Amino acid sequence: MAQLRIAMAQVNPTVGDLDGNCRTIADYARRAHDAGAHLAVFPELAVTGYPVEDLALRNSFVSASVKAVAALAERLADDGLGELPVAVGYLSRRAGVGERYGQPAGAPQNAFALLYRGRVEVTSAKHHLPNYGVFDEFRHFVPGETLPVVRIHGADVAFAVCEDLWQGGGPVAAARRARAGLLVTVNASPYERDKDNVRLELCQRRAREIGAVVGYVNMSGGQDELIFDGDSLIVDAEGELFARAPKFEEDLFVTDLALPDARERAGEDPTSEDRGESVDGVRVVRHTLSAEPVAAYAPEPPVLTPRADPASDVGEVYRALVVGVRDYARKNGFGSAAVALSGGIDSAVTTTVAVDALGADRVHALLLPSKYSSEHSLTDAEDLAKRQGISARTVAIAPIVAAFEESMALDGLAAENLQARVRGTLLMGLSNQEGHLVLAPGNKSELATGYSTLYGDSVGGFAPIKDCWKSLVWELARWRNAQAERAGAPAPIPENSISKAPSAELRPGQVDTDSLPDYDLLDGLLDAYIGTDKGMRELTTAGYDPELVQRVIRMVDRAEYKRRQYPPGPKISSRNFGRDRRLPITNRWTPTA
């Protein structure tokens, strides 16, 4: 057996910050070297950040990425790290191929490079290009056609990029036929609820298929709507979980492996792939960096970070929201946030997430009571601000609303929405004056049904609970309070904000259930229609009242124009509003089945 110490760095790059990302890679490579690693691996497109979207179509950006990788290889050697092979994801282009119909001009590729002794020693590119959910890789990239198998200290290590592991055939089949002892995949796999076990099961299945150890390194941090949760892992050739990194944080994950000696495996009957022929359209390309195994050493015990109770993932959702707010603010240059604090559950959870992400001294609340606001709404908002130690200013909006009403006669819904729009104007004024990022407190149930006032409560630069059903918002509040209590700290959210009936308070005595069904019922129906595309017949067969189904579908479909104008927010579900679900605004199709 050959020993190999692998360091997997689940870093948090920023799209477009090539210099900053390369500095991070160099820093982590130094840490890997100091830990005695024989191989350091970084995530998919770590040099450019992920997803690069249409930046991939700019020749200048592709060229900058290629140059950055070459410069990084030289930098590592200059820093005394040239003997450490470093695998990084970057944006490249396929050489010698002209434009083809239906492919991006310039042939950009989602590529991988192995840096060694000051050079880009090995390159390859993603073969399977996902074109579902949040992914548009057919739009941005052309596929790679090789699987590099690199001999490192006597072990054969194959490298693939993200989707290449998820799809059968292609690189997976090539790795099996090439008899690699280790398959390393570099990934930028976004967080979704319950996804970590899906990844683990995938790696276990592939390890058994290939008969090799599988190392899975994933990105961490937030990029616009996407959250990358780390959770890098290693499974052995029998599919048993061997080591696992923490979630939602940057980490250098160092593991000692015992791999088959490549020279002994080479004595087996050769396959056609060993002669450079293709398997499922993928050609195996072999490289040797170091043929001799390292001298035997005592391995360190593997790190196996425990997972939370799989039956209760609310805490993971909360952590994802915190990461999303923190990185959106940090990466876009916002040092602070502002939120309209109403005393209700949505603004309470939004504010609490912001405080956990940015710190209490960087969150500024604006209390904006109207003539219809109940006394407990104001006191609940003040209570939350006091509990969390945030600054809070109160501006009564009744006189401002009255001034508008004197200028134009409005009644009904138009008058109710005027209150929300006055609040939005004041929030944006505060943002312009003091530079805060305004956080919109709308939840997914409101966005689905159109219960969100354009240019009012939809005002903001980021929407922390945009992808959370209303019923989940309550769960998040209870979870966060329970966490505080377990730590011996006061609950950050007043109980009254959790237990009282939700209301927009736009008219006397108003509550949400005046016009909407109970949220537990509504959210189940919405999730079935939006999350899994079930139609009228399937929903009624599932037990939902036909009239309710028809009404809810009508509300959802009519509100598409509102959702297009809503701020981005962290994606935590398998089907969010935004990157996942794209429907026309002008649309006369009415589901009947």
- Three-state SS for 296? coil
Residues 6 or more apart whose Cβ sits within 8 Å of residue 112: 44, 87, 88, 89, 90, 123, 124, 125, 126, 148, 159, 160, 161, 186
CA–CA gap between residue 180 and residue 157 (Å, rounded): 6
- Name the helix (H) or strand (E) containing 182: strand 182-187
Instruction: Report helix, strand or coil for 316.
Output: helix
C-alpha–C-alpha distance, residues 273 and 268, integer Å: 13
Which residues contact residue 418 at a Cβ distance below 8 angstroms, ignoring those fewer than 6 apart? 401, 404, 405, 410
The closest of 515, 547, 512, 549 to 529, measured between CA atoms, is 549
Residue ranges of alpha helices (H) inside 435-566 are 444-449, 470-486, 495-499, 519-526, 536-541, 546-558, 560-564
Angle, to 10 degrees, between the axis of helix 18-34 and the axis of helix 59-78? 30
Instruction: Note if 126 is an active site residue.
Output: yes
- What are the residues facing 339 on neighbouring strands? 365
Task: Report the 10 Å Cβ neighbour count for 509.
Answer: 9
* Interhelix angle 470-486/519-526, nearest 10 degrees: 120
* Four-CA torsion 308, 309, 311, 312, nearest 10 degrees: -60
- Helix (H) / strand (E) containing 116: strand 108-116
Name the β-bridge partners of 157.
Answer: 150, 182
Supply the angle between the helices 519-526 and 546-558 in degrees, to the nearest 10: 70
Angstrom distance (rounded) from CA 310 to CA 113: 36
Angle at 365 between CA 364 and CA 368, to 5 degrees: 145
Please identify which of the residues 22, 137, 162, 203 carries the catalytic annotation: 162
- Name the strands in the sheet holding 337-340, side by side, starting at the edge strand that comes first in the sequence: 391-394, 363-367, 337-340, 437-438
Q: Are 177 and 273 in contact (CB under 8 A)?
A: yes
From the list 22, 126, 192, 316, the catalytic residue is 126
Cα 157-130-178 angle, rounded to 5 deg: 25
3 state DSSP class of 198: helix
List the beta strands (DSSP E) in 23-101.
39-41, 86-93
Measure the CA–CA gap between 383 and 492, rounded to whole angstroms.
Answer: 9
Cα separation, 385 vs 34, whole angstroms: 46
Residue 44 falls in the annotated catalytic set? yes
Distance CA 246, CA 229 (A): 9
Name beta bridge partners: 156: 151
Catalytic positions:
44, 126, 162
